[in-house]
Amino acid sequence: MSEKSFEQSLERLKEIVSKLEEGEMALEDSLELFEEGMKLSRHCSNRLEAAEQRIEVLLKSSDDSDEEVPYEGTQSE
């Protein structure tokens, strides 16, 4: 997969979900889209994880103590 931005990947993932939800595609086409969607999902997840790690480093470096400050972002379930 070419290196897409997080936003591009997320937008493509939304398109894929929408097409799959319509349910009017051939099985093989649906499987190909599902596979692409899974790759995009992993890509987005990795990008978010990297961003969280950067935030933790920034928070730690802004604090003079040696204690690591974990990022406590909102979790959507």
- Name the token pair of 63: 């604090």
- Name the token pair of 55: 């935030």
Cα 70–Cα 13–Cα 71 angle in degrees, nearest 5: 5
pTM given for the model: 0.72
Buried/exposed 35-57: b ≥16 CB within 10 Å, e otherwise: eebeebeebbeebeeeeeeeeee
- Which overall architecture, per CATH, does domain 6-61 show? Orthogonal Bundle (1.10)
**In the chain, what are the domain boundaries?**
6-61
Cβ neighbourhood burial of 60 (10 Å; 0-12, 13-18, 19+): middle
Question: Tell me: the pLDDT tens digits for 12-63?
Answer: 999 999 999 999 999 999 999 999 999 999 999 999 999 999 999 998 887 7
